[in-house]
């Protein structure tokens, strides 16, 4: 028992030291916030935060997952002390977009739910979070279109594992359900489960919206997070047909992200209508050994029979080789827009 008491005293001493150090850190954060406000500097700097996390985790021998969550929370609260970031996302509360925003900014953010993806683009003043592609259902067309048509630079990205649940009001049983409400993409991702269930399906603007439409004979497809938010019971977990289901989200903002050394650049361009034009454009990236992480084509909504090519590749627009590639693409392409350079998730 003496050994146990001794160890507990040491832990108590360490807890006191940790508390004192955290108090000092938060005091410095508030000082930095004052300086930033005076000099009109952005509170949230993704590149700086990524460097902090990388430095901390490089020194950790064990418990890396815990340290990542712990320091993310510290960074989130430090931002809150300076000025909570205002973040628009596809609402209402409880959507996967809401979850992605919390994953990126931490719980100490000022969330601003929007009814549609276009509303996120139109109403954000600091940041917005929008879904861009899913590993099973592909790209979100409206997000790609608005990235072209609106002034909304990409400043970050987040990947979120999607695990759908069948939710209902308290005391409702699975056999009572005649109608299931959900976003079209969620319905598509759970089509085999829904077919076996033999129910009518109704599309909604979001899965969280579906949670607000329930009665004693209906259910919604949404996350466990949504179940908690709307006090619903979980009839069944992991109902998506493909279990390894991931959605990529983009963070749009007003202040460009600085280079971190592990970045991604997103572009969209159109090409001359002649044989081999795409091959030549991709050759420009290959010459500089830039690794392409995404390529997709879509019809332009601005010009008839014009196709746009969305390409993501590793590197930052301030890197010399990326600058050269963008310069060459600008000369060759009929149009080019750099959608943003940002830390890779």
> Which residues are annotated as catalytic?
247, 249
CA distance 8 to 140: 53
Map residue 234 onto helix, strand or coil: strand
CA distance 30 to 24: 10
- Residue 189: name the closest of 138, 227, 234 by CA: 138
CA distance 43 to 24: 19
Question: Cβ contacts of residue 71 below 8 Å, gap of 6+?
Answer: 52, 53, 56
Q: Taking the CB of residue 68, how many other CB atoms lie within 10 A of it?
A: 14
End-to-end CA gap in the chain: 47
- DSSP letters, 37-70, are HHTT--S--HHHHHHHHHHHHHH-SS-HHHHHHH
- Residue 250: name the closest of 186, 118, 342, 315 by CA: 342
- Residue 253: name the closest of 42, 38, 51 by CA: 42
Reading the block at residue 284, the tokens are 């420009």
Reading the block at residue 217, the tokens are 């004979």
Q: Taking the CB of residue 129, how many other CB atoms lie within 10 A of it?
A: 32
Residue owning tokens 């987040």: 158
Kindly provide the b/e burial profile for residues 278-308, where b requires at least 16 CB atoms within 10 angstroms of the residue's own CB. eeebeebbeebebeeeeeeeeebeeeeeeeb
CA distance 152 to 127: 9
Strand partners, 220: 167, 181
């Amino acid at each position: 028992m003496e050994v146990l008491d001794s160890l507990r005293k040491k832990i108590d001493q360490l807890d006191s030291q940790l508390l004192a150090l955290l108090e000092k850190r938060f005091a410095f954060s508030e000082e930095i916030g004052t300086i930033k406000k005076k000099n009109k500097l952005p509170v949230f700097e993704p590149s700086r935060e990524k460097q902090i996390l990388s430095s901390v985790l490089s020194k950790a021998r064990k418990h890396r997952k815990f340290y990542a969550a712990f320091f993310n929370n510290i960074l989130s609260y430090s931002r809150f002390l300076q000025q909570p970031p205002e973040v628009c996302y596809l609402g209402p509360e409880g959507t996967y977009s809401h979850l992605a925003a919390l994953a990126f900014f931490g719980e100490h953010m000022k969330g601003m739910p929007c009814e549609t993806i276009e509303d996120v683009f139109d109403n954000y003043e600091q940041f917005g979070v929008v879904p861009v592609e899913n590993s099973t259902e592909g790209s979100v067309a409206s997000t790609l279109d608005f990235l072209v048509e609106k002034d909304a630079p990409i400043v970050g990205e987040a990947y979120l594992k999607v695990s759908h649940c069948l939710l209902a009001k308290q005391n409702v049983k699975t056999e009572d359900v005649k109608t299931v409400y959900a976003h079209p993409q969620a319905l598509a991702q759970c089509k085999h489960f829904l077919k076996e269930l033999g129910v009518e399906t109704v599309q909604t603007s979001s899965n969280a919206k579906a949670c607000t439409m329930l009665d004693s004979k209906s259910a919604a497809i949404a996350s466990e997070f949504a179940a908690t938010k709307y006090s619903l019971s979980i009839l069944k977990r992991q109902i998506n047909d493909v279990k390894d289901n991931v959605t990529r989200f983009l963070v749009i903002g007003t202040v460009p992200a600085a280079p971190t050394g592990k970045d991604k650049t997103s572009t969209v361009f159109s090409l001359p209508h002649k044989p081999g034009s795409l091959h030549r454009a991709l050759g420009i990236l290959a010459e500089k050994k830039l690794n392409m992480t995404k390529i997709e084509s879509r019809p332009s909504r601005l010009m008839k029979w014009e196709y746009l090519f969305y390409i993501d590749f590793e590197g930052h627009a301030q890197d010399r080789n990326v600058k050269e590639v963008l310069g060459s693409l600008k000369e060759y392409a009929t149009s080019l827009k750099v959608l943003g350079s940002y830390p890779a998730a």
